[in-house]
Amino acid sequence: MGTKEFRRGPSGEALPGLRLSVEDASARLRELMQRENVVVAYLFGSCARRTMHPCSDVDIAVLLDGRGEEMYEAFRRLLVDVCNVLETERVDLLLLNSAPPTLKFEVITTGRVLYARSDVALNDFETNVTQRYHDTAHLRAVQNDYLKRRARAWYSEKRA
């Protein structure tokens, strides 16, 4: 696959880079989030670290109100609206409602808050994520240990 195929979005059109500054994009996104059923939104990845390059996408994580199909429909509409506001299809929108604890923790520790419905909502979400992350640390340690043992066993079988 060549570079040209890699740089095409869902519409089939070539993907332009982000034409807005991070500050302008953040301001436009905040306005959009206020109109939607967004509880909390973060900018994360290279855009939040300000290390974007011509092939970078914009990583946004959102926590939405609602459940089930209603929430997923709101998520789909939000993705289209974000692409329109940023004038690019190079957007990776993450639904925090269904993300694993490690990814949520990464977002809250390395990302920048774009929007929060209230300080209470932001604090509640971040507290819950931090507790869940630390509560599942022992499970990740067991899984990591198992993977290391399996890798060593596989490697020693191949060398034998």
pLDDT at 155: 85
pLDDT at 2: 40
pLDDT at 125: 97
Amino acid at residue number 95: L
* Residue 108: CB atoms within 10 Å: 21
Going by the DSSP 8-state scheme, the letter that residue 15 receives in this structure is: P
Q: Which two tokens stand for residue 115?
A: 């929007």
Going along the chain from its start, the domains and CATH numbers come out as 3-159 (3.30.460.10)
Amino acid at residue number 158: K
Task: Write down the pTM of the prediction.
Answer: 0.77
First to last CA, the chain: 37
Residue 20 phi, psi dihedral angles, 5° rounding: -100, 155
pLDDT at 13: 52
- The tens place of each residue's pLDDT in the chain, 160 residues long, gives 343 334 444 555 544 556 666 677 788 888 888 877 899 999 998 777 777 777 778 899 999 998 899 999 999 999 999 999 888 888 899 999 999 999 999 999 999 999 999 999 999 999 999 999 999 999 999 999 999 999 988 988 877 6
